[in-house]
Amino acid sequence: MKKFAISFLSRLGGYNPGTLGQFQRDDHEPILKFGLAVLLSALISAFNWSMGTWTLTDGVSFYYRILMTLCLGFFGFVLVAALDSSFLYFADSSDAPWFKKICYGIARALIILLVSAITSQAIIPLLLRPELQAHALHMAEESEKLRRGELENQLKLASKQETANKMMREVEKLEKMMEIIPEDIKKRIDYAKQNWNRYFQSKNRLIASGHTVSQAKAILAEKAARCTRLEKEANENKEAYLQNLRNQLNMAMDAKNRAINKLAETDEIVSMKTSQARIIEETAFNPLSATVLTSLIERDKGVFFKYLLISGFFLVLELLPLILKVIVGRTSIGEKIVIERKINRMWLQSRYLEADNEFKIAQSFGEAASEACLKALGSTEGRAIFSQIFSGYMLAVAPTEAVNKMMQKIERQQYDLDDYMRRFPRWATVIMEAWTRAIKETTMILQHNCHSS
């Protein structure tokens, strides 16, 4: 278990356990400490991803939620472990210019900031839940008031309300006017009543003086006709006035009903749209909403400082390996690896220069030998000597070339043999014995040919 833990921490620190085994144990300590820092950052990242997934998948099935939480938590752990371990190895064992390391570190920090910006939207609301719940309710109320005002202006609800109120006042006014008779009509009615009173007084006096009723009516017939005419005219004027008021009242009642119906329809539309928007806002304005969090941070300085402290705490924990690397610098193992790489690079460069020098020398000798051969071939004696040398060279080289060709063929067949042995393990022993026997026979034939030549 201890060996596994050391191997795991060394990999998180950026090094292969086999590479560390080539150095002294005292040099392993800084690498293991870096591995612990990376492990802590990876666990923090896994926690952020898990909590974010758990919070943002609210409403889905429980088993699917558990599966997504575990998968994305593992992804967050692997992401940070891979990025930090690669950065630590690059910064510790590379002799690249300092600005390249700075660019790599900045890129790593930006990745952390982007990832934290996503996961913090789920972590921070859990820590600021009371404030966010109150602010979400406040934002929903403000939004509803603003939206209702916009809808009322858009649908002209205020003007329709004013029209309905105006028509109601008009109806009330007409109803009151019907209860009060105008003064001129009232005077004419009173005048007609007074004429009838005088008529009856005159009639009673005539009857009292000895006239009969019919005689009295006959004497006062003209006066009675005049009273009837005046009474009829007064009643007609009164009826005409009241009929006019009834017509106006009916028209006003119709207008009032239309205004009230339009007002009711508009109010119903406003209420329907408000209800629809409220359903959406109940989902949008919640403690997990980035809009609510941003608005609360902008309005409340206390929440802003609390947000900075929480975000800074998680950010420092995730940047801990990078911070430690900047403070500690390169380890002794890293120094040794850098020095060894420089030595190897210098050795390869010297070998390259040496090979290049030898090639130039051989090229010069070859050019000189070619010129000498061309001059020698110009004579009959030179051509005869060159022919003898070339024949001897061919006799010496021919067996060697034949052996090289056969060895190349044997090597190709060896690959086929290994493939057959993997495909047919049951016959591996038989195949190997037959191949070994064939190689021995071939070797004996080559040795015999070489001795003969």
Intra-chain end-to-end CA distance of the chain, in Å? 65
Q: What pLDDT is stored for residue 116 in this prediction?
A: 64
Query: Exposed, middle or buried: residue 334 (CB in 10 Å: 0-12, 13-18, 19+)?
Result: buried
How does DSSP classify residue 377? T
Cα separation, 313 vs 319, whole angstroms: 10
Beta strands in 276-412 (DSSP E): none
Q: What pLDDT is stored for residue 450 in this prediction?
A: 55
Q: What pLDDT is stored for residue 149 in this prediction?
A: 72
Q: Cβ–Cβ contacts within 10 Å for residue 233, how many?
A: 14
Show the tokens assigned to 114: 């982007």
Cα separation, 77 vs 44, whole angstroms: 8
Can you tell me whether residue 432 is helix, strand or coil?
Answer: helix
Q: What pLDDT is stored for residue 24 in this prediction?
A: 72
pLDDT in tens, the chain (453 residues): 677 787 888 778 777 777 777 777 777 777 788 888 888 888 888 887 887 787 777 777 888 888 988 998 898 888 888 888 887 777 777 766 667 767 777 777 777 667 666 666 666 777 777 777 777 777 777 777 777 777 777 767 777 778 778 888 888 887 777 777 788 888 888 888 888 888 888 888 888 887 787 877 787 788 888 888 888 888 888 888 888 888 888 888 888 888 888 878 877 887 777 777 777 666 666 666 667 777 777 787 877 787 778 777 777 777 777 777 777 777 777 777 778 778 878 888 887 887 788 778 777 766 666 666 666 556 666 556 666 665 665 555 556 666 666 666 666 666 666 666 666 666 667 667 776 777 777 677 666 655 555
Which single residue is written with the structure tokens 């492990």?
A: 39
> Which whole-number Å values give the CA distances from 16 to 157, 277, 339, in the listed order?
75, 58, 18
Q: What pLDDT is stored for residue 419 in this prediction?
A: 63
Cα angle, residue 56 at apex, residues 51 and 62 outer, rounded to 5°? 85
Residues in contact with 107: Cβ distance below 8 Å, sequence separation at least 6, in sequence order = none
Q: What pLDDT is stored for residue 331 in this prediction?
A: 76
How does DSSP classify residue 60? S
> Which whole-number Å values give the CA distances from 366 to 319, 362, 391, in the listed order?
63, 6, 20
